[in-house]
Structure 1
Amino acid sequence: MISRAERSANYVILVLFAAFALAPIGTVLAAALGPDDAPGSGSGSAASIAGLHVGNFAAAWHVGHFGTYLRMSLLVSVFVVTVSVILSISVDTRWERCVSAARRCCSTPSFSAS
């Protein structure tokens, strides 16, 4: 049986590791929603909601060419899914043929006791 102190220590260690794993996500999110530090950006932007600067996402989308990359990713995904479906149907059909041929080949006549 696990003692109460050992269980508490396990939870403390788990929380520390979770914080260590999630800290980079939190810092990226804070930087994304923080004010733009570029010169001439102007802190009085209309895309600021309760101190959160959501206009940074639109700027990153434009500067980073995410729209182009999203379209390319969509094309690759559609191609891969289409090819996978075609190949899986083809393999399934051929597998069924092999299985039915093996059943015909390996089936033994049943002998009845007379």
Structure 2
Amino acid sequence: MAYGAVSAICMILHNIIVIGGDQLNWPYSRSILISFGLVTTVGYALQSLLTFNQALNKRTYFRYVIAMSANIPLAFVALWVWHDVVRLAMIWASPIATFSMVAINLLLSRWAILVQPTRVA
């Protein structure tokens, strides 16, 4: 349940940035990178504390940033398909692109926050 609520917050924040950027005639790259910086930090804190009940630390934050960086090319491709190929207005294309990435984000979040690296003795 917490994953869904945190994801909804992150999706709303991302879509506000991308749709707002489109209204300001920003290129995808600017909107996506601004969204990445803000949403990744907010998402890490909320997913760690609320979804996975884990303390915040630099190691898992770094892993989360690396895992979520997979969203950058996925966001470009998803927006391109829905906005440029299918020709949907950004107000529709951005949310559809965002929902198409939810399952990938769940798997990457679990890996980044919960999986402990094995140490070779």
Query: TM-score per shorter chain, which class?
Result: under 0.3
Q: TM-score, normalised by structure 1?
A: 0.26
User: 1 or 2, which has the higher helix percentage?
Assistant: 2
Based on CA coordinates, which of the two structures has the bigger radius of gyration? 1
Structure of higher RCO (CA pairs closer than 8 Å, 6+ residues apart): 2
Q: TM-score, normalised by structure 2?
A: 0.24
